[in-house]
Each structure stands twice: as structure tokens, then as C-alpha cells.
Amino acid sequence: MSTILIAEDEERISSFLQRGLTASGFTTEVAVSGDAALELALSGRFDLVILDIGLPGMDGFEVLRRLREENEELPVVILTARENVRDTVAGFEGGADDYITKPFRFQELLARVRVRLKSERNAAVKSIRVGDMRLDLRAKQVLVGSEAIDLSAREFAMAEAFFRHPGQVLSREQLLDLVWGYAFDPGSNIVDVYVGYLRKKLGKERIASVRGMGYRLEKGGRVAAA
């Protein structure tokens, strides 16, 4: 499995990235300064770098410039504040492979990471099947049997989180991370509200409540409703 370097000095964001990437099967390491990031990026141990622009010491642009002097291949995904996008794009000069603006949803980032990892590219899936349901990642809808169910963007993001972890309990916190991102208030009941929307559309019995833990997409497809 791929190893990802997270160059980010804000602990809240680096731990959010680590949690999500680890849950998605990646190995990660964090660098909290530009100098550390460059040294690690040049170590040959990493398959991809997530690089924050605003790093102490050497900033992200400088890290990227120096990295490219010695390594032109290592994929780099830049993290940048939305208001600095113009500078960021200008600053690439072909050195970065992609960028994502803060705040971001984990799954947006994961999609970029997967595209940039050559070994992952072949494995990029177009749909995910769970029981008699299929999540179509391109049409952004769920098929239940042969019936296509239209979902809002947020509902689809939540459905994707469940389909990527079928039969596994996802806590409210995990769902918030995956669907809303780190910038969201963990005290809100938004997760429960959206689970309700999904149940209404997909069938109540397909998403089980696991008391005190969270929610689980039932793997077996349609289960007899209680």
C-alpha cells in the first residue's frame, strides 16, 4: 500500500488527514515544517506528498521547487487557502500535480490522491456494489435493484462513505470527517439528519443504528424490515 507524506503544520488538519488516510489503507507520516518536509520527500520512502503552502521555515512553494530539482516524478497535491488560489496556481509552474482549497472534505482529497497515485489509478473504481445496491461514482446515484435513486450532493457523499465501508460501523465523528470535513461542529446532529434522508431514499432497514457507536450499512442488501 502507498505511503503518503503529509506536510502540514496545523495539527487539527494533519490529524484529520492521518485518520482518514489510515482508514483508507494508506501509511502516513507528518512533517510540520518546510525543511522536514523536503528532507522526507527526498528520502524515497513516499509515493505522494500532500503539501501545505503556509509552512514554517521554507514555505510550500520553496519545498516544491527544491523537490523538483531532484525528483520530477513524486506526485504532489497542494493544500491552499481559497483566497490564495490565484497565487498558488501561478506558483506551480508545472511543479505540482494538483491542488485543493481549504476547507475541504476528506473524500475530495482522497479522490485527488487516488488519481495521482499511479498504482491506484488502475484500481480506480467506477461503481461499488453492496448487496443488491450499486453506487455509481460517475452518475452520482445509487441503484437499488434496477431503480435509480437520485441523491443530493451531500447525501451522495454520505452514501459513498457507507459504501466504501460496508458492514462496518461508522461513528458520527467518522461520518462528519468523511462527509463534512474538519471545519464542522462535532456537536451538531447533522449526521443523524442525513442518515434519516438516506434511509428514506434507500430503505429504512439498510442502515442500522448501532447504539452508542454509530451507523452501519448492511452488507446483505435487503433485510426483512422489523
The reply to whether 9 sits near Ca ion by the rule CB under 5 A is yes
CB nearer to Ca ion: give 54 or 203: 54
The reply to whether 7 sits near Ca ion by the rule CB under 5 A is no
> In sequence order, what are the residues at sequence separation of 6 or more whose Cβ sits closer than 8 angstroms to the Cβ of residue 222?
131, 132, 203, 205, 206
CB nearer to Ca ion: give 31 or 198: 31
Look at residue 123 and give its three-state secondary structure.
coil
Least spacing, CB of residue 9 vs Ca ion, in Å: 5
Least spacing, CB of residue 6 vs Ca ion, in Å: 11
Ranges within 51-110 binding Ca ion (CB under 5 A): 52, 54
Instruction: Check: CB of residue 151 under 8 Å from CB of residue 201.
Output: yes
Angstrom distance (rounded) from CA 185 to CA 96: 32
Angstrom distance (rounded) from CA 46 to CA 19: 18
CB nearer to Ca ion: give 54 or 95: 54
Ranges within 17-56 binding Ca ion (CB under 5 A): 52, 54
Per-residue DSSP letter, 58: S
Interface residues toward Ca ion, by CB under 5 A: 9, 52, 54
